[in-house]
Structure 1
């Protein structure tokens, strides 16, 4: 099993983001929940929600994936929706986590997270036809155990996958994705993740056939604004449980964008919202940005029009498809 990695390190962006000072006014804490409208769609099941407290939510209860057993002989499964995905010898889907890193390999999923997303041990894992055995490796976790990696990405199962072929973890929290044989994210376009959203900038746009040009995040997921928020002075009224369905978009450096209005003219613009709950949230034209837990794959717009208050956002920060 290969344990050495490419010498070219992935340089993490250290450019400072524009922080909200007086550009969009001063936000004050608001503990009221009366102004929230989270919509009727279900929450992310308590797993992988990007709420104020945890990336993964509560620990899992049942599920075969909760057992830290060897992956054995890996396999490649060709799915209709995601193309080729990697499974263990029992047919259980393997996943990767956006908060981890591949160069150098590092796992950031511990505690309750590791209960919901059991790490796959490296011991006993073997590459089948369809996976380059040179891509298999291991990383030492904080508890000293060895975790399987594919092209540097630590591998996990999902506790809510209870039978072979389940992919219930796909897109959870906008950070968990089934693994393609290359180690990349399996994608709706198929092809083993060759068209994966990881190739996108932190924020960019896509052309939606009904809404026109909409903003998407680094995973290709639609970005929304909440009409009950306030741009001046900037204030987010999506707090608490609302954030389980509408995770905030974390700060994105202006250099890591394409096709959006990322200028800060000193009054209104592309700035970071320092929320009272401690989260930092990117904005466009001073409107705080969110994704929707009900969107499961790039191109989904299931959050559009929810409650008459949630709308996909344009590159200039305008609500798309909002009734006149």
Structure 2
């Protein structure tokens, strides 16, 4: 009986290891010498946050500073809906300036996480005299009390902002800045002309078939991450600001992406991140528009992702 128990235990252990191997890390894990993240940080500096559609560069949601005063906010007046050729229907204030939402905020319950320096670059829209114009459901308009006690306009729960570098009516220079700022649609969702799955693929003229997120932005892998036996992201702090982690995506919300190893995991900072073939995936803040691949090869460690999760164009290890 003792021998049988040991045999059964060994079989069960082997099966568990095999299951992990099958689920995650189809590629060889990086060697110990490649685990030093700081070695390549200087080479690419993780990139710099870029602008969205237009010429503005922006602050990519810089870390808030309690010492920086917020600029006096201009009233919103009657909100309007305009059609942007690249974004579709976009919400504006009565002066035609685009309104934005911030991915770090929450809508349920409404909460703004942009203060100090951030609120200087992205002035909160006051709620006091805002009203719904044609094509806007007034029931979606609300307000949230900010840390300084002022009332900020919300659209479907999302706090609304302007962008300091939008100077003319119709400007959308804040679109996609830092991978966190997006123009507001009249419904409170991110303005988007095309409706894409959470993850899908497109044919790049130089890289071939690569994965893109729900906004059509190129998805990348960091060679210093690991997938086996559990996904581990080694992009933290300032790195994560330049390379935003892709949030969880359901298997049914994908097209053309390998389903095996398609999972999410919880990072040490509590944020959930999506993987492809168990490898953590990211976007790049310096990609300004769908189709950009400015992150390809940065620091010799960042590469676009193929449908099976492999890094496109990366040197063989």
Q: 2:210 aligns with which of 186, 203, 214?
A: 214
Deviates more, 1:88-97 or 1:113-122: 113-122
Aligned partners of 2:37, 2:156: CA distance in 1, in Å? 46
Contact 1:107 1:139 (8 Å CA) reproduced: no
Q: Does 1:82 align with 2:78?
A: no
Aligned-residue offset at 1:120: 1.4
For residue 43 of structure 1, what is the aligned residue in structure 2?
49
Alpha-carbon RMSD: 4.0
1:159 aligns with 2:164: yes
In structure 1, the gaps of 5 or more residues are 1-18, 50-55, 190-194
Q: Write out aligned runs for 1:235-314 (5 A).
A: 236-252=233-249, 254=251, 257-264=254-261, 270=263, 272=265, 274-275=267-268, 281-314=273-306
Shift of the 241–110 alpha-carbon distance from structure 1 to 2, 3 Å rule, reads closer
Answer yes or no: is the 8 Å Cα contact 2:58–2:177 preserved in 1.
no
8 Å Cα contact 1:214/1:222 also seen in 2:
yes
- What's the secondary structure of 1:35's corresponding residue? helix
Larger deviation: 216-225 or 160-169?
Answer: 160-169
Query: d(CA) in 2 for partners of 1:223 and 1:272?
Result: 17
- Structure holding more helix per residue: 2
- Alpha-carbon separation, structure 2, partners of 1:159 and 1:237: 33
Q: How does 1:68-217 map to 2 (within 5 A)?
A: 68-100=73-105, 106-112=110-116, 113-129=118-134, 131-141=135-145, 143=147, 145-187=150-192, 189=193, 195-196=194-195, 200-201=197-198, 204-210=199-205, 211-217=207-213
Answer with 1 or 2: which has the greater Rg: 2
Question: Does the aligned pair in 2 maintain the 1:105–1:154 contact within 8 Å?
Answer: no
- 1:68-94 Cα offsets, whole Å, 9 max, x none, are 221013334444443442222233211
Separation (CA, whole Å) in 2 of partners of 1:281 and 1:136: 29
Change (3 A) 1:181 1:309: same
| TM-score (normalised: structure 1) | 0.67
Deviation at 1:96, TM superposition (A): 2.0
Distance 1:41 1:156 in 2: 25
Which position in structure 1 is the counterpart of 2:311? Answer: 319
1:190-216 residue CA offsets vs partner (Å, 9 max, x unmatched): xxxxx345xx33xx2122242443222
